[in-house]
A = this chain, B = another copy of it.
Amino acid sequence: MATLEFFYDFVSPYSYLASTRVEALAARTGATLRWRPFLLGGVFKATGNSSPLDLPAKGRHLWLDLERWARRLNVPLRRPEPFPFSPMLALRTALACEAVGKLVPFSHAVYRAAWADGRDITNPEVLAAVATEAGLDGAALVAAAPSYKEALVKQTQDAIDRGAFGAPACFVGDQLFIGNDRLDFVEEALRAAGR
């Protein structure tokens, strides 16, 4: 049985797009899907990479490209204000949710809040409400976030050590695929690994 490790950050729009696709992809290929939140800012710092927003021409094009993808995938997309925002609290809370088996519903809820509904998930109260609406104990989980500071650093470092330089970063064993636009290659790799 092949495993797809899906490294994602809430601030990464291409990770959001991929988050709407990876479960169907894993189901189609019979793969086990492992959701692994990580800090894209840490990846950028370690590798010397930077956000497309740092270059005006790239930043302008980013939104056009995202809109094209959102239309193709038929997923809602609304530009967060401000952008970029700090995903730190949401990422640490995600690891608190993982400890109680709720990482996936929390991740979908945060992505929807930040990228479709225009909600400020950097605000602890908003983040707790988003989690509570998803059927979780939002206040307790957000309160537990500080305990997961080191776990987030460690998970981020794991991706860096294995070659990641952007998000989403998908691994099939030691094969790395960077970007929502490489999920078709991920699918091929999973089919090959599952044979």
Contact = CB atoms under 8 A, between A and B. Distances in A.
A127 B68 CA distance: 40
A176 B55 contact: no
A58 B64 contact: no
Contacts of A61: 163, 165, 176, 178
Contacts of A58: 47, 49, 165
Contacts of A48: 54-56
Interface residues of A, number: 23
A165 B64 contact: no
Q: How many copies of this chain?
A: 2
Interface in A41-64: 47-49, 54-58, 60-61, 64
The A interface, classified by DSSP as helix, strand, loop or mixed, is: helix
A124 to B, nearest CB: 33
Contacts of A158: none
A181 interface: yes
Contacts of A163: 57, 60-61
Contacts of A49: 55, 57-58
A157 to B, nearest CB: 13
A164 interface: yes
Interface in A129-166: 163-165
A107 B54 CA distance: 33
A83 interface: no
Contacts of A47: 55-58
Given A47-B55, A58-B165, A64 B176 contact: yes
Contacts of A178: 61, 65
Interface of A: 47-49, 54-58, 60-61, 64-65, 68, 72, 163-165, 175-176, 178, 181-182, 185
9 contacts: A48-B54, A48-B55, A48-B56, A49-B57, A49-B58, A57-B164, A60-B163, A61-B176, A68-B185
